[in-house]
Amino acid sequence: MAVKNETVNCIIGEGSVFEGRFYVNGSILIEGKFSGDIKTDDQLTVGPTGKVMTDIEAKKVTIAGTLIGNITASEEVNLIQSGKVLGNITTPKLNVAEGVITRGRVTITAGKTDSLENIIKDSFGDDAEKLFSAMSKPAKQVKQKVDDSPQSKKK
At 8, is the secondary structure helix, strand, or coil?
coil
- Domain boundaries, given as residue ranges, for the chain: 10-108, 116-148
Return the H-helix or E-strand segment holding 81.
none
In this structure, of 27-31, 78-82, 131-135, the range with the lowest mean pLDDT score is 131-135
Res 16: pLDDT: 96
Query: Closest Cα to residue 131, out of 149, 151, 146?
Result: 146
17-26 tens-digit pLDDT:
999 998 989 9
Q: What is the mean pLDDT of residues 4-13?
A: 79
